[in-house]
Structure 1
Amino acid sequence: MRLKVGDTIPDFTAKEATGVLFDSRTVIGKKAVIIYFYPKDNTPQCTAQACGFRDNYAEFLKFGVDVIGISADGVASHQEFIQKFNLPFRLLSDSDNAIRKLFGVPSGLFGLLPGRVTYLVDDKGVIQMIFDSMIGMRHVSKMLAKMIK
């Protein structure tokens, strides 16, 4: 089943780039957050998307919204990606795609790649917006536009 606008984000856990176990209940329902699923660290679209969120992170924080990125990459890959591009937000490792399945994130490019979907979640844990596109920077601009409205 695919999550939709108005749904409450289900509880999940995953390893952060630091190796620490992240529990969604420590953030979801306590503050607004952007959760974005992306295919792979260090690929052109994924890097552009991560850097777009990085470059606008202060703006998102100004609106009280944090950012969390999720992919199947492991902790070591996420550590390198964060260091290489100075990413100020959490990256979570969903190595078994359990969180991707929990959210119902579809595959992209005719099922050849993991999908790229971004969720804007309010401080009660309810999805306010979903954006699905394989073009990474569109996710950043769509989320910014929603903040400014």
Structure 2
Amino acid sequence: MLKVGTAAPVFQANSTKGIVDLQAYIGKENIVLIFYPGDDTPICTKQLCAVQDHYANIEQANTAVFGVNPGGMDKKRSFAEKFRYEFPLIMDEDESIRKAYDVGKVLGLFFQQRIVYIIGKNGTILYAKKGNPPVSELLHVIENQA
């Protein structure tokens, strides 16, 4: 896991809402990157639905949100449509984003770890936490940067 204060690696990747170029957000918005193990699985659904429930507040704080995992685009689109996620789900097919952000695999196996990063407008990591932190915690960090 990358440490707070580290420059966030930039990338371009396909998502449920088209190509995402992280560099385009640097200097303009804060960014929340949610690395999650699987599309349409119970804990991942709960985590991303909690973010969606507070998406208006997050967006109001000039912050972009992206979910990231290596799953296929068809499953991502279905998952995003089913739960009406307003934020893009990024396909990290070759796992280059996971590796750049030092996101490990659960017990070294197939699924990536669950990690949330918040990147400031200046492109540095402001927050890094394993697991499923409460959205209120994310909002606290974001609102103090807005």
State the identity as a percent.
Answer: 33
User: What are the Cα deviations for residues 72-101 of structure 1, in whole angstroms up to 9, with x where unaligned?
Assistant: 112111111110000000110001111000
CA contact (8 A) 2:68 2:91 kept: yes
Distance 1:5 1:145, change over 3 A: same
TM-fit CA distance, 1:126 = 0.9
* 1:33-112 pair list within 5 angstroms: 33-108=31-106, 110-112=107-109
CA contact (8 A) 2:2 2:128 kept: no
TM-fit CA distance, 1:66 = 1.5
Return the TM-score normalized by structure 2: 0.89
* 1:116-135 pair list within 5 angstroms: 116-133=114-131
CA distance in 2, matches of 1:53, 1:28: 21
Q: Which runs of 5+ in 2 are unaligned?
A: none
TM-fit CA distance, 1:29 = 3.3
For the aligned residues, what is the CA RMSD? 1.6
CA distance in 2, matches of 1:68, 1:139: 16
Equivalent position amino acid for 2:115 in 1: V
1:146 counterpart residue number: 141
TM-fit CA distance, 1:144 = 2.4
User: What are the Cα deviations for residues 41-95 of structure 1, in whole angstroms up to 9, with x where unaligned?
Assistant: 0000100011011001011112211111101112111111110000000110001
**1:4 partner SS:** coil
* 1:6-25 pair list within 5 angstroms: 6-18=5-17, 20-25=18-23
CA distance in 2, matches of 1:111, 1:146: 30
Tell me the matched-pair count: 143
CA distance in 1, matches of 2:32, 2:26: 10
CA distance in 2, matches of 1:33, 1:61: 10
CA distance in 2, matches of 1:29, 1:104: 23
TM-fit CA distance, 1:39 = 0.4
